[in-house]
Chain A
Amino acid sequence: MSKQEFTVTVYTENQIGLLNRIAIMFSRRKINVESLNTSPSEVDGIHRFTIVINEVEDVVKKLVRQIEKQVEVLRAYYNTGEEIVWQELAMYKVPTDEIAEKVKVERLLREYGARAVVIRKDYTIFETTGHREETDKLISVLEPYGLIEFVRSARVAIIKASAGFHEKLKEFEENIPSEEVIENEFLNRKDEVFSM
């Protein structure tokens, strides 16, 4: 099994210290976190982590179970690139003179799906969203024109197969164990499930 890129999505309580608790799960296994985003999810009071790592699937699977085991973690998932739709946001600060003289701004905007956020006399800030290669390409285009500053956000990703978290949360809030089935490769009969 070779390493590949995985996006780990974690739903958690909004609790101080939880970022550390999750981050050390990766550092403990000496796994580098390529990108990490955390922000409130669509559900009030629930945070969503999106973490990108390069690892073999077997390790990721164990890791995600260990993350999910943490008391304040509600659910954790892992997905390959094909199973998600993802974006990163990038911002580029360039000198306005240079841009105005040497580049056709409209062409740039169109070609890279970029838009100007700020246009001042001294500098202009463009913003674009997309995959890493796309945002990288715009850097190389802008570099000859005196790119002053560049910043890129962490990845945010939507899981294609996900049905959202609202319903799941309701189950979690009930006092009785949920009927939730933990995926298992050995079994696909889900009709005989019962809880004790």
Chain B
Amino acid sequence: MSTTTAAPAQSTEEKKASTTTVSGSVAVLEAILAEGVNTIFGYPGGAIMPIYDALYDYQETLKHILVRHEQGGIHAAQGFARTSGNVGVVFATSGPGATNLVTGLADAMIDSTPVVAITGQVFAHLLGTDAFQETDVINITTPVTKWNYQVTDATEIPAVMAKAFYIARTGRPGPVLIDITKNAQLQKFEYEGYKKCEHIRSYRPKPIVRKEYVKQAAELINAAEKPFVLFGQGVILGKAEQEFKKFLEKSGIPAAATIMGLSSLPTDHPQHVGMLGMHGNYGPNVLTNECDVLIAIGMRFDDRVTGRLDKYAKQAKVIHLDIDPAEIDKNVKAEVPVWGDCKETLPMLTELIEPKVYPQWLQKFRDFEQQEQEQCIQPELHPASDILTMGEVIRVLNELTGGDAVVVTDVGQHQMVACRYAKFTQSRSNITSGGLGTMGFALPAAIGAKFGAPDRTVVAVIGDGGFQMTLQELGTIMQSGIDVKILILNNEFLGMVRQWQQLFHDKRYSFVDITSPDFVALAKAYYIDGQRISERAQLQAALKQMLDHKGSYLLEVKVGKENNVFPMVPQGCSVAEIRLK
């Protein structure tokens, strides 16, 4: 791959032995390997050809997955990062290749997913001349990256790559984009080896934990009568699932997850009372406005969680644990802000709290659950009519997987239903586009999720609308031979928009009626087996066949056309005004 050359005369003997001449492209690949990443999702093109040329010699150590569209590439990198806990890496060429990454970067930014995107760029001397496939990628991606940087000189590459991985994975993770001009990819330079970045003076990944805040938080918790824990993805990102569980079990406090926090605590944990938010569970939403102390852990009070802010938990004292100081007081004012990595702060808090139980308070959640069970859950999971519901598909899936599968969801009604009803036994099992709500996320993310967790069953639950946004990635599945189960819940509508049009726009169904191709035939065209069902009697066997099938499989389930997802907190309403129908 590279040849050792005589070092310049002025160099020391030591240096002579340790430097080699390599191209910028080789330095990029060496950096990725040194960071412990062995899978790259990408799509070649003119301006990134030198990197792809170098990649040719790295096929034994670096797996490159050729996607069918750069958006698929970055969603796959996100899926990889989410299941593996490592950084996802995506390659794209300049111009359209790079602009196709934007949706995924925005998605990774809002959902704090560690991704490093490498884009090729035109030769440095052509920058600003409207050269072929030239786009100002740095300025386009600035608002949707945690950090981005343009390299025009190969000697910068090792340090810049080290910085990129360090920034992507530390603190509150996020996407980083490195744009490398073609001349820098080609340029040979004296390579002194790769050194991981450990410190950037202008970057504080973690705020300092302040003991007195932890103490104050513990005092509030110890004095509370109706405390309530909200947990988000921060628990997963901080790899603090055990610390969280210990805290929760000692405290005895009921806990509800944000959509991104799901699976960090097993669904059947006795203190797990469900999901928060617009389509979350009844009790957690209503009782948010009854608790006396609200303990938010690694979550950011998104508007889909809080509903109307001025009527959100006004009676409660809020303790907010977050690694990102900019999240404190952003939406909900914190009485006690516990800055820091929850892997560090949770054990400190656990130490200071008294072991307690809240049987009556917990019962209140269970009482609300009973109401929800009767009015929403039962009809959804065990419908009386012949028409299949999305919920019962998920119920049967749970029965067959035992909750051990990675469930990747797209965006819309099926996402809400899957997140409401899917059972999770282990962390990093719920992969969804939470903050950005990116339709078309699931199929490519599932590909990445499988590469990130090759030993786990990965089921992509997708609507008929979202599937048609990125179905070209069936080609990626075909070529890579990966095993992804595709479960399409087809209601022949853009269901979530239709639901809103029904409830808030007098049933004026404006352009939500979507027709689909023969999905099974489409899969067949990609040599992927599958079938379509529409009868309850077929459901169990069909899901079992999908799960047992060797290799990828597409199961299309025809579900009720005009079913709605309930409960629902209508937009502009308080969480306590959640509707059961």
In the complex, what residue of chain B is closest to A72 when comparing beta carbons? B202
Given A177-B207, A192-B212, 9 other A-B contacts at CB below 8 A? A17-B142, A62-B326, A69-B326, A178-B204, A186-B337, A187-B210, A193-B210, A194-B210, A196-B344
Chain B positions within 8 Å of A175 at CB level: 198-199
B142 engages A20 (CB within 8 Å): yes
Asked whether any CB of chain A lies closer than 8 Å to the CB of B396, the reply is no
Q: Say how far B163's CB is from chain A's closest CB, in angstroms.
A: 9
The 6 A-B pairs at the shortest CB distance, nearest first, are namely A65-B326, A172-B201, A71-B147, A195-B208, A74-B202, A175-B199
| CB-CB under 8 A for A173 and B208, given A62-B330, A184-B337 | no
Contact residues in A for B139 (Cβ distance below 8 Å) = 17, 20
B124 to chain A, nearest CB (A): 13
Inter-chain contacts of A186 with B (CB < 8 A): 334-337
- A24 and B142 in contact, given A71-B167, A196-B344 (Cβ under 8 angstroms): yes
Total A-B residue pairs with C-beta atoms closer than 8 Å?
Answer: 86
- Chain A: interface residue total (CB-CB under 8 A): 37
Q: Using CB atoms, name the residue of chain A closest to B200.
A: A71
Grouping DSSP codes into helix (H, G, I), strand (E, B) and loop, the A interface class, with mixed when no group exceeds half, is loop
Q: Does B454 contact A (CB under 8 A)?
A: no
B149 — nearest CB in chain A belongs to which residue? Answer: A17
A169: Cβ under 8 A from any B Cβ: yes
Hey, which bits of chain B sit against chain A, CB under 8 A? 138-139, 142-143, 146-150, 167, 198-204, 206-213, 216, 324-326, 328-330, 334-337, 339-340, 344
A101 at the B interface (CB under 8 A): no
Are the CB atoms of B147 and A177 closer together than 8 Å?
no
- Min distance, Cβ B76 to any Cβ of chain A, angstroms: 25
Determine the residue in chain B with the shortest Cβ distance to A192.
B212
Which of A21, A184, A193 contacts B142, CB < 8 Å?
A: A21
Which A residues form the contact surface with B (CB < 8 A)?
Answer: 12-13, 16-17, 20-21, 24, 28, 61-62, 65-66, 68-69, 71-74, 169, 172-173, 175, 177-182, 184, 186-187, 189, 192-196
Contact A193 B211 (CB under 8 A): yes
Check if A177 sits within 8 Å of B208, measured CB to CB: yes
Known A71-B200, A175-B198: A196·B324 in contact at CB below 8 Å:
no
Residues of A within 8 A of B204 (CB): 177-178
On whether the beta carbons of A182 and B209 are closer than 8 Å, the reply is no
Per the bound structure, the CA–CA distance linking A72 and B200 in Å amounts to 9
**A71, B166: Cα distance in complex, Å:** 11
User: B202–A182 contact, CB under 8 A?
Assistant: no
Quote the shortest CB–CB distance from B6 to chain A (angstroms): 35
Which residues of the other chain, B, contact A181 by a CB distance below 8 angstroms? 210
Q: How far is the CA of A194 from the CA of B150 in the complex (A)?
A: 38
Q: Contact: B324 with A69, CB < 8 Å? A: yes
Decide if B201 touches A173 in the complex (CB within 8 Å). Answer: yes
- Give every chain A residue within 8 A of B330 (Cβ-Cβ): 62, 65
| Residues of B close to A187: CB separation below 8 A | 210, 212-213, 216
Task: Choose from B148, B198, B199, B209 the contact partner of A196 (Cβ within 8 Å).
Answer: B209
